[in-house]
């Protein structure tokens, strides 16, 4: 098989693209772009600190952190966790709420004020926004900044 070959559209594809496509169909590997959702889901499932993502050239690297008690997380860690939680909820057609974030962090109902403070930090940095700013505080839902309804998203 040649290393490069033309497609009907006139574009060239590499043999690696063909091999990767075959491997995806056989269930050996996954589609490109499906990994970040899985990394975020697993870190939330195991209540780990939010991962950090770096783009280096044509690759994306995810940096995972060891378990850390919530009181030892700094503001940047909490804001990143809130943002990624909102993203994960949004792609599942759900919203970040005080209740969902309490569950993500493993915080009891009696400490919901702590989670409200984390949400406020994420809103103040612009990472998440209220879905409906006019909603009563107990009914407030949040989405990532790029999914804000005033940006044409619903």
Quote the DSSP letter at residue 49.
Answer: P
Residue ranges of domains in the chain: 1-32, 35-151
Model pLDDT for residues 28-85, shown as the tens digit of each residue: 766 666 678 888 888 888 888 999 888 888 777 888 889 888 889 999 999 999 999 9
The answer to whether residue 93 scores a pLDDT higher than 70 is yes
Model pLDDT for residues 1-33, shown as the tens digit of each residue: 344 444 555 554 555 677 777 777 777 766 666
How many Å is the Cα radius of gyration of the chain?
20
* CATH number assigned to the domain covering 35-151: 1.10.10
What would the mean pLDDT of 80-109 be, rounded to a whole number?
Answer: 94
pTM of the predicted protein model: 0.74
């Amino acid at each position: 098989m040649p290393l490069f070959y033309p497609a009907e559209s006139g574009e060239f594809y590499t043999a690696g693209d063909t091999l990767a496509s075959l491997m995806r169909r056989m269930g050996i590997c996954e589609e490109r772009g499906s990994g970040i959702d899985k990394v975020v889901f697993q870190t939330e499932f195991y209540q780990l600190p939010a991962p950090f993502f770096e783009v280096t050239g044509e690759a994306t690297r995810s940096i995972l952190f060891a378990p850390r008690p919530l009181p030892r997380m700094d503001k940047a860690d909490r804001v990143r966790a809130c943002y990624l939680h909102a993203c994960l909820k949004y792609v599942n057609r759900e919203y970040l709420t005080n209740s969902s974030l309490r569950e993500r962090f493993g915080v009891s109902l009696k400490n919901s004020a702590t989670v409200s403070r984390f949400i406020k930090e994420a809103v103040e940095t612009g990472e998440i926004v209220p879905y409906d700013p006019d909603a009563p505080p107990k009914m407030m839902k949040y989405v990532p900044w790029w999914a804000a309804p005033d940006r044409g998203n619903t």
